[in-house]
Amino acid sequence: MASAPIEGRAILDRAYDAFSSEGRVFEEMDHLVGALADLRQRTSADDWNAFCRVDCVGHPVRFLVHQDPLTERAFFKPRGYPGDAVLLDMFYGEDGVKPYVDEATPLGQEIYRYTSAGMAATALRRRKEVLASMIDRVSDSHAEPHIMTIGCGHLREAGLSQALQERRIERFLAVDRDADCLRVVREKWGPYGVDTAESTVNELIAAAPDLGTFNLVYAAGPYDLLPRPAAIRLTDALFEATQPGGLLLVTNFLEGIKDVGYMDAFMDWRIHHRDAAEMFSLTSGLPEEEIADRRTFAEESGGIVFLAVRRR
């Protein structure tokens, strides 16, 4: 095992010196991100966590990387939870985040140029495309499709869905715990027939049957933050809300994303990474006789895994 404090401080010192001297920011960010990912892999969980919470938070390089509006927002969590919808918009490069970037320092803007183009950002953008494609595919195969999404954020995949914009979806229910997110969704997509419901994961586990049944149920964000027992319970609840012949689709970050050490150290964005086998295991509570098919696949960058369960 590596000695995180010794090796880690050298990594942080190099980054601080490079950023302070206005060197090649993109290249130095790439070195920092890669070095942290390697150190995380070779360090015990306890030593790594201590390094992140003591050495990284206390090192002056933190005040440099936090000039990046994306890294800063992830760390300070103004909505009270990691991975909020505004942060995802920063990864997506949505027009609405331009003021955050414009107000950043020149160094912060250069770091944002890196973080918004990294593996995590690429995977999230590709996830959005896959979700939009799935919405359209289900809508093409059903005359009056019913669709529900959990942890909808700002529902940015809607902007890529032809079926939703053509109002070919009979019912589209967007669920999130964040009232501000749902307000944005109603303003943008309410005219296209999207309904909203405010609910935490725990509330949803209890109330999912009351929301109706759907041809497609998908959850793009919640699973990253859920420990295994809660993830299994949520899968059970969402499967119950899936109509016979319908599809349940959930996603999760994979372990091997290059950004993982940086996300731990400077974003304080701790994710429950899962591989294909772990995703399959989330279906352990489902009645086998009601499962027509289940499979996993990864989006093209290899950063996010999808679990698709077809109900018989």
pLDDT digits (tens, 9 = 90+) for 71-115: 999 999 999 999 999 999 999 999 899 999 999 999 999 999 999
pLDDT of residue 163: 98
DSSP three-state, residue 295: strand
pLDDT digits (tens, 9 = 90+) for 135-153: 999 999 999 999 999 999 9
pLDDT of residue 2: 60
| DSSP β-bridge partners for residue 296 | 307
Q: 219's torsion region: left (phi>0), alpha (psi -120 to 50) or beta?
A: beta
pLDDT digits (tens, 9 = 90+) for 7-66: 999 999 999 999 988 779 999 999 999 999 999 999 999 999 999 999 999 999 999 999
Q: Tell me the pairing of strands 304-311 and 291-298.
A: antiparallel
Yes or no: is domain 121-311 CATH 3.40.50.150? yes
Domain residues of the chain, as ranges? 4-117, 121-311
Its pTM stands at: 0.95
CA–CA separation, 18 and 242 (whole Å): 52
